[in-house]
Amino acid sequence: MIKYLFSNIDKVNGFNEQQIKYLSKDLKTCKSILFVPGDYDKEKYIIYKDKIIGWFENIDIIFKEKHLASLDGELKCYDAIFLMGGNPINQIEIINKINLKNIINKAKVVIGVSAGAINLSKEAIYFNDYSEKIEMYDGIGLTDINVYPHFDITNEYFVEEVKMVSRLKSLIALPNNSFIKIDDKQIEFIGDSFKIYKENIIKIN
């Protein structure tokens, strides 16, 4: 299995140059894809799914089957799984309610974006802006890496938030446009990335 942990995808332009380079190679044999929404707003995520499919088609990645996971949908195996951005807690609730973990574990390629990248870890962690507390819960379990997306080292408030979370777990903070690729052979850090643990920040790449 190949796993991608994306900080983001540009909402206007779609995949960046590096994302295109990697996805074009790793998704070329995938014929089906399941999108997992980031919250319960089905209509919003249908629109988002269609936009992402368009970005894939722009780089000649064509899926014969493409579906959005839902609480009342039929489950089957897919070559690729795309965990969309949104609310990490809501997304893991959806995954658990429809027993998606087994389906995800059978995929050839799994892509997690923002909230989806957070949820790929064994024990997910992030600071919930709404409840103003740190959330820790069982994730999907595909990696030991805990990512913190949208990291901006020039934003003092955000840096302090990430440092606070790092007191509990080691984090890999990813600025927008950065991502991690994990396969059976290696872990690749593409773009800037920072390891943060016990409030210490070390630039990896």
Residue 108's Cβ-count burial label (10 Å; 0-12, 13-18, 19+) is: middle
Cβ atoms of residues 195 and 189 within 8 Å? no
Global pTM value: 0.95
Enter the tokens of residue 58.
């722009």
pLDDT tens digits, one per residue of 18-47 = 999 999 999 999 999 999 999 998 889 999
Please tell me the total count of domains within the chain. 1
CATH number for position 143: 3.40.50.880
The answer, yes or no, to whether residue 202 has pLDDT greater than 70, is: yes
Closest residue by Cα to residue 93 from 30, 34, 40: 40
Query: What average pLDDT is seen over the chain?
Result: 94
pLDDT tens digits, one per residue of 84-93 = 999 999 999 9
Cα 52 to Cα 63, 75, 128, 137, distances in angstroms: 12, 21, 26, 28
The answer, yes or no, to whether residue 205 has pLDDT greater than 90, is: no
Average pLDDT over residues 49-64: 95
Q: What is the pLDDT of residue 184?
A: 87
Residue 157's SS3 state is helix
Domain that holds residue 180: 2-203
